[in-house]
Structure 1
Amino acid sequence: MSSQRPARLEARIDLGAIRANIGRMRDVAGSADVMAVVKADAYGHGMVECARAAVAAGATWLGVALPEEALALRAAGLTERMLTWLHAPGDPFADLVAADVDVSVSGLWALREVTEAVRALGRPARIQLKVDTGLGRNGAQPADWPLLVEDALKAQEDGLISITGVWSHFACADEPHHPSVASQLAAFREALAHAENAGVRPEVRHLANSPGALLVPDCQFDLIRSGLATYGVSPSPEEGSAADFGLRPAMTLVGRLALVKQVPKGHGVSYGHTYHTRRPTRLGLVPAGYADGIPRAASGRGPVSVDGVCHTVAGRVAMDQFVIDLGGQEAGVGDEVVLFGPGDRGEPTAQDWADAVGTIAYEIVTRIGPRVPRVYLNRS
């Protein structure tokens, strides 16, 4: 989409950065392929546009959590290999099979629902078997793995499915020296060996997410899943910044001052008057709030930049707006307020916001809501 007039708040998405980040992850992957993970509206960046940019840069797979996301990508004309992995009973497995989407299977119930859909549809499914190597979320426990593999092979022999992948997910790849990392890698190799000895011949074997690919040697296998790295945010700020990893943040969140006014010393600001002006000053109203994804926890903490001058949210973030104390800065209605961006012009970054409110940068970018327009830059 393009901006016809100045918006009160907009997320500017640099598709050139998306392409460059995928290029960087291709270098990291070596001989392995790259899956661009575009779930959750591409971590808030816009799923379809980012998927197209990632594919243009050489991503050969797309990854999503929900069936609806995969089907939306197919409806938008994305034809690349695609994996969806978070399912509940009754999900539209027949639609996924018809759309040629790989379906992750972590338990016998899912295998059963997929094969029932296949019988109704008359077309075999592509499935990937997921093993829980220690994360404790999705995936078959090692004790249940042999039976899942056995039943999947039977379904494959009956022509109902094709087992296209074996995979798992790290718990602590952003802490590369955590003991669970080596333990999970060993558990994955063991589960993979069992499946292959039983007769599974997967097209792809994959374990590495963004931090795994960047920080854990020998975990690339046939495919890496580039999630947060696709969007240029460090997946492990304790180990390095985005620049340290050769990544560039793609999202710049920009608002505009909706009001600037002079107030006296001691003036209360926003709900609860948790902030009072310390001197006669100018307040600037930013029309962005927690309904847009600005964390309420950023009250009195969130950093912003106005014409290169840094300020902090004054008082509480409200549903639709927050205030900054401009002090003596000459700023006027309509001037840009940068909430976060790449940081190379001195503006705050998503990581700065995460640090300010005690969360992770994943949440900062992903929570930017649908009423904030995405404006795409560098389409080609």
Structure 2
Amino acid sequence: MIAAVLPATDPAPGHALGVPRAEAVVDLDAVRHNVTLLADRAAASGAATMIVVKADGYGHGAAGVARAALEAGADRLGVATLDEALALRGAGITAPLLSWLHLPDEDFAAAVAADVELGVSSREHLAAVLAGARAAGRPARLHLKADTGLGRNGCPPGEWPALVDDVIAAGELAELTAVWSHLARADEPGDPSIDAQAARLHSAAAHVRSRGHAPLLHLANSAATLTRPDLHLDLVRPGIAAYGLDPIAQPADSPLRPAMTVRGRVALVKTVPAGERVSYGHEWTAPAERVLALVPLGYADGVPRRLNNGGRMRVRFGGTGTGTGTVRPVAGRVCMDQFVVDCGAPGELPVTVGDPVELFGTGAGNGPTAREWADELGTIHYEIVTGIKGRVRRSVTGGRSG
């Protein structure tokens, strides 16, 4: 992990430097940039664009991202749960909206009444959705999901004909809007499973067409939207790319702009002698006299404890977004509420209490990124941005519609 001390800003109420102790800054102009790029690529293939805003917009704020995405050319929105869908409707967002991950004992009436399109993966799920449609007094708009080789949610091939039969038997209670699936290895361009899954989706759709329906088809996630225009079909469904995190390219090579910057402030500065040991387990020992800066964020706020294994976690002080600044390593273990930064020998790095510190952001000036955190942890940047939580306050720039 890398962080940067930011230049002081004008005071804001409750914050002497105008920067909270822990803040995730979301740049909606970056979201607009990314969605415009994705929607333009889809449109070149004749496809519409659904932007996925599940998990509170991947930690960026679902309603704000949804509005920005629609302003930038998205046609539809996607979420995982009914609660997420109804929250967007409650926020006044009326765009076409798909929710796809449900339990069969949920009450679907409110979602049907709110014109939320529903993913269906089994006959049992379909029966519950149809019960909701009866209660709502209007048809349910269905996206039948085929399991084409991911092995998660989705109807397996052997059960697909019976599911389609049930939809047809439902008559006016069901509108078969789309057939869709999800790719397992789209972030590995050239993997043969990608084409195999596409073929299975087309087979599932062919069966539906043979029964007299002409549904939309969608398969492409972020990676396929960026690399496989032949799989754009009727609709692409990017998620992480809308937030500026490229599922394939490194940040320096990507046309996307990261939308989240996480930062905190220095709470304490001290000088310790050579041989002084720091944090739980005493895994770090000062090799010489050192200046240490204490930053009050920890794993309760989404800073992974394992980031400092082997001294890999770093932060950046100063010059955020300008191509300047000083990157410094974290000394010792990340704790629940705090971590310590090695600022070098006395006089090497001017640092004072209250200085802002960047944990990750756009990567400008070789600054820290969520991708770097993920690479060091052996995970993906999805987990990093969705994991920012606890006492981290979200703020927004580039908002134009509330």
Q: Is the 8 A contact 1:153 1:199 kept in 2?
A: no
2:221 aligns to what? 209
From 357, 364, 368, the counterpart of 2:388:
368
Whether 2:232 is the aligned partner of 1:232: answer no
Deviations 1:165-218 (A, max 9, x none): 11000000000111101101111111111111112222x310000001111241
From 292, 297, 303, the counterpart of 1:288:
297
Matches within 5 A, 1:3-152: 4=13, 5=15, 6-29=19-42, 30=44, 31-152=46-167
How far apart are residue 3 of structure 1 and its match? 6.5
From 324, 337, 341, the counterpart of 1:324:
341
How far apart are residue 127 of structure 1 and its match? 1.1
**Tell me, what secondary structure is at the counterpart of 1:212?**
helix
Deviations 1:101-150 (A, max 9, x none): 00100000110001112222222111110000000001001111111111
Task: Decide whether aligned partners of structure 1 residues 16 and 260 sit closer, same or farther in structure 2, where only a CA change above 3 A counts.
Answer: same
**Tell me, what secondary structure is at the counterpart of 1:379?**
coil
Deviations 1:229-266 (A, max 9, x none): 00000112xxx224534110000111111111111111
Work out the CA distance in 2 between the residues paired with 1:147 and 1:135: 21
Whether 2:267 is the aligned partner of 1:258: answer yes
Work out the CA distance in 1 between the residues paired with 2:356 and 2:63: 27
Q: Is the 8 A contact 2:302 2:390 kept in 1?
A: no
Task: Decide whether aligned partners of structure 1 residues 3 and 20 sit closer, same or farther in structure 2, where only a CA change above 3 A counts.
Answer: farther
Q: Is the 8 A contact 2:107 2:128 kept in 1?
A: no
Structure 1 window deviating more from structure 2 (77-86 vs 144-153): it is 144-153
After superposition, the CA RMSD in angstroms is 1.4
**Tell me, what secondary structure is at the counterpart of 1:226?**
coil
1:313 aligns to what? 330
List gaps (5 residues or longer) in structure 1.
none
Q: Is the 8 A contact 1:314 1:325 kept in 2?
A: yes
Which structure would you say has the larger RCO, counting Cα contacts within 8 Å and 6 or more residues apart? 2
How far apart are residue 355 of structure 1 and its match? 1.3
Work out the CA distance in 2 between the residues paired with 1:78 and 1:164: 20
**Tell me, what secondary structure is at the counterpart of 2:23?**
strand
**Tell me, what secondary structure is at the counterpart of 2:270?**
strand
How far apart are residue 370 of structure 1 and its match? 4.6
**Tell me, what secondary structure is at the counterpart of 1:230?**
helix
Task: Give percent identity, aligned residues only.
Answer: 51
Q: Is the 8 A contact 2:30 2:244 kept in 1?
A: yes
2:284 aligns to what? 275
Work out the CA distance in 1 between the residues paired with 2:12 and 2:29: 18
**Tell me, what secondary structure is at the counterpart of 1:144?**
helix
How far apart are residue 329 of structure 1 and its match? 1.2
Task: Decide whether aligned partners of structure 1 residues 249 and 180 sit closer, same or farther in structure 2, where only a CA change above 3 A counts.
Answer: same
From 208, 232, 247, the counterpart of 1:220:
232
Q: Is the 8 A contact 1:166 1:205 kept in 2?
A: yes
How far apart are residue 48 of structure 1 and its match? 0.9
From 252, 258, 261, the counterpart of 1:249:
258
Q: Is the 8 A contact 1:19 1:53 kept in 2?
A: yes
Q: Is the 8 A contact 1:301 1:356 kept in 2?
A: yes
From 165, 168, 177, the counterpart of 2:190:
177
From 346, 359, 363, the counterpart of 1:339:
359
Q: Which amino acid aligns with 1:304?
A: V
How far apart are residue 313 of structure 1 and its match? 1.8
Whether 2:198 is the aligned partner of 1:189: answer no
Q: Is the 8 A contact 1:36 1:227 kept in 2?
A: yes
Whether 2:368 is the aligned partner of 1:357: answer no
The normalised TM-score by structure 1 is: 0.95
From 286, 290, 315, the counterpart of 1:304:
315
The normalised TM-score by structure 2 is: 0.90
How far apart are residue 282 of structure 1 and its match? 0.7
Q: Is the 8 A contact 1:298 1:313 kept in 2?
A: no
Work out the CA distance in 2 between the residues paired with 1:3 and 1:134: 52
Work out the CA distance in 2 between the residues paired with 1:176 and 1:256: 41
